[in-house]
Amino acid sequence: MIRRLGFIGLGNMGGPMCANLVRAGFDVRAYDRDAAALARARDSGARAAASAGDCAREAEAVITMLPAPPQVEQVMLGEGGVIAALPPGGLAIDMSTSSTAVGRRIVQAAGERGVEVLDAPVAGHPRRAAAGALWIYAGGPAEAFASARPLFEAIGDPERILHVGGHGAGYTVKLLLNLLWFIQSVATGEVLAVGVRAGVALEQLHAALIASPANTHFLEHDLWPVIADGDYDRAFPLRLVTKDLGLAVDLAGGAGVPVELTALVEQVHRRARSAYGDDGGQLSAIRLYEDLAGLELRLPRSSER
């Protein structure tokens, strides 16, 4: 059973994930270039490492939770990286939203050292990370997934921890579910802006759509921060949204599938990023439609969820 862990990447998601692993009784050594983030991990009970390699050197498994493929590749394969430092027989688990191309290079390098790899990106808001209730989509050997399952149960909802296939399958599923979510964001913003400008009150339009065959989890739940409070959810900023959409376009190109809708949705979000900045919230495509239509999509304060 895995007990000694390294954890690299202590941001909005990684910080609470690391804390939950400590709380579950794992011996965690953590690293982040941000001294404040590392201090918070130490306060939660993790031991501080001096580098990524230092984090991995005595670990049985290392988890990385990083912003984008370049950071994943550097931490895993760069000088003093995880793959070179992990002892043979160790397990490297990347829980970032990354690319299958980077994943393949990691798997090849790890295989040469007798290290196993899982790509296991997560879905969910930082609130779910804090609650230990994330969705997890793992790609890699079934035996490695079984070994990692106790770790995943410390940070994810046990009924939403899925083994989705071989190496790269986790990355693929995560990119596709993000893509579908962002498609729904654009479609929902467009539909609501048209409906309200056409004279239907938002409260009635929203209720009618929820009661219809076109209802979605996005429409019923994920949209709520915007229409209730004008909150476009800056916890996941547009710089990461456009990164993920670019990776989805690349994935489709590699699979040989034309994706006109995906390309359009990516451009809508890039336009939102241009308008609201890198740190604009992930629901800013709806804000873009509000501005184009000259309205705010807000429910009356008396409305209850």
3-class secondary structure, 157: strand
Q: How far apart are CA 241 and CA 273, in angstroms?
A: 9
Task: Name the catalytic one among 29, 174, 269, 273.
Answer: 174
DSSP 222: I
In angstroms and rounded to an integer, the radius of gyration of the C-alpha atoms of the chain is 20
Give Cβ neighbours of residue 247 (< 8 Å, ≥ 6 apart). 69, 97, 98, 99, 175
Active-site annotation holds for 174: yes
In Å, how far are 64, 176, 212, 275 from 245, measured between CA atoms? 21, 9, 29, 17
Relative to beta strand 61-64, strand 4-8 is: parallel
Phi/psi of residue 211, each to 5°? -80, 0
Q: How far apart are CA 247 and CA 1, in angstroms?
A: 34
Nearest to 96 by CA among 121, 77, 74, 73: 121
Residues carrying an active site annotation: 174
